[in-house]
């Protein structure tokens, strides 16, 4: 086995890995809901979320995430 065989093998392994990532990202329907939710994260309104929970500041939000009372 010389260097050219290793290069060919690495090309095949890389291509199979690429196809696996494409299948995972676009082929698995279970990921669609999770990806759609993640796509909306930049548009989420953290101030409205804090107001809904009755929190005033970042320290209160951190306590709420930890499960402690404000």
pLDDT tens sequence across 22-40: 998 887 777 788 888 888 8
Instruction: Tell me the three-class secondary structure of the chain, residue by residue.
Output: CCHHHHHHHHHHHHHHHHHHHHHHHHHCCHHHHHHHHHHCHHHCCHHHHHHHHCCCCHHHHHHHHHCCCC
Is residue 67's pLDDT more than 70? no
Per-residue tokens: 31: 């990921």
Query: Residue 38: what are its φ and ψ, rounded to 5°?
Result: -65, -30
Asked if the model's pLDDT at residue 55 lies above 70, the reply is no
In this prediction, residue 57 carries a pLDDT of 58
Q: What is the pTM of this model?
A: 0.48
pLDDT at 3 over 70: yes
Is the pLDDT assigned to residue 66 strictly greater than 70?
no
């Amino acid at each position: 086995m010389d260097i050219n065989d290793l290069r060919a093998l690495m090309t095949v392994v890389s291509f199979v890995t690429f196809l696996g990532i494409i299948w995972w990202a676009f082929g698995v329907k279970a990921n669609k809901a999770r990806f759609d939710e993640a796509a909306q994260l930049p548009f989420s309104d953290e101030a409205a979320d804090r107001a809904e929970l009755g929190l005033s500041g970042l320290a209160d939000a951190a306590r709420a995430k930890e499960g402690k009372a404000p």
